Amino acid sequence: MDAVEEVSPADSSGQARFAAAERKIVGASLGVAHGNSEEAHKLAEDFSGRMKVLRELMFTEGEDRIIEITDGEFITYCELHEDRCAFLVHVPAYRDFKGEAKEQLASLAWQTAQRVVEETLEEGDQLGIGMKGTFLYGSVMVGSVGSETPTSSSKEKDLLIGFFPDEVPDLESEEEP
C-alpha cells in the first residue's frame, strides 16, 4: 500500500484533503496507485494500468524526455465514497498531447473510469476525473456513472473538490490522502 500522508484535524477540509491527494500523484516514487481506502487503491491501480495499455495501443510516442517524473506511468489517486468516485491522474508527457489527441485521451479516460467503477458504484452515482500534467490540469470531467459523456468538462480542478468531503466517515477503514 502507499504511504499515508498526515492531514491534521484542523486541515481536514475537503480542500486540504484534495491538495494532499494531488501531492500523491506528483511522481512515481510512492507507487502508481493511491486511494482513501483499500478498495479505492485497487480502483486506482486498475485505472492506471488500463490507461497505460490504452496509451501504448492508441497513441504514438512523443519526444523522448530527459526527465520523466512518473516513469511513463499514469499515477492515479482515487477518492471513493458510497455515492461518488473521483480519479486524479498524472498523465505522463501530457503536454505532448494536442487538440484531437488530448480530446481522445479524455474520452478514453471517461470510458475507462466507467468500466473501473461499474461493479463498485451504481448507475447515477457521481464520477469525476482530473487529468493533469506536471503543473496544470488539461481536462476535468464530472458526470454520472452509466453516462457515455461527462455532464461538465473544463480545466477547472474546483469541479472535483466536492468529491472530497470535509469529514471522512469511518476513518479506521480509510487512509488519509
Domain boundaries, the chain: 9-166
pLDDT at 6: 39
The Cα–Cα gap between 48 and 24 comes to 14
Those residues whose C-beta lies under 8 Å from the C-beta of residue 127, and which sit 6 or more positions away, are 84, 85, 86, 113, 114, 117, 121, 142, 143, 144, 145, 147, 150
pLDDT at 94: 85
The Cα–Cα gap between 35 and 139 comes to 20
pLDDT at 134: 86
pLDDT at 16: 93
Residue appearing with cell numbers 489517486: 77
pLDDT at 80: 98
Collapsing DSSP to helix, strand or coil, 167 comes out as coil
Residues of the chain below pLDDT 50: 1-10, 64-67, 170-174
pLDDT at 97: 81
pLDDT at 173: 44
Tens-digit pLDDT profile for residues 112-122: 999 999 999 99
